[in-house]
Amino acid sequence: MADTPSPAAVGSGRRGLNPDLLKLALGIAIVAGTLWGQQAVGFLTRESRIDPKVPRAGLVDVVAVVGFEPERFHNERLATYGMFSGRDGSLKRIRLRQVSQDQLVGLASLPWIDKVEPLR
């Protein structure tokens, strides 16, 4: 039994958390949140943004609702999801025509889109 160390020599096996390792992990988490946080939020909440009345087959005509007055960038970005066809009564309601189902999901994944409604 001379080969086995005593429990006191081994210690309890618990080590304190390395503060430098915690700082590194926190830094990585902050960078990841900055780079991919908006996309993650958009991905996780996209289905709740699509109005249940929007047809889920074929090409659809929709209104994208935003919570702010969109700038040129936003209009150009929205036009990549369907044919831009003006406003729907308010600057915050943008009409898009011929939106495919894949584009509909992509549109709802944008974090700055509040709701996607069917065009009346």
Residue 102 is assigned to a structural domain of this protein: yes
Give residue 98's domain range: 53-118
Q: What is the pLDDT of residues 3-20, one digit of tens each?
A: 666 555 555 555 778 888
Residue 6 within any structural domain of the chain: no
Task: Read off the pLDDT of each residue in 26-31 and give the average, rounded to a whole number.
Answer: 91
Q: How many domains are there within the chain? A: 1
Asked, for residue 34, whether it belongs to a domain, the answer is no
Residue 65: CATH number of its domain: 3.30.70
Work out the average pLDDT over 46-63. 93
Domain presence at residue 71: yes
Q: What does the pLDDT read at residue 120?
A: 84
The pTM assigned to this predicted structure is: 0.70
In the prediction, which pLDDT does 2 show?
A: 57
- What are the E-state strand segments in the chain? 60-66, 83-87, 93-99, 113-118
At 59-105, the pLDDT tens digits run 999 999 999 999 999 999 999 999 999 999 999 999 999 999 999 99
Distance CA 55, CA 40 (A): 25
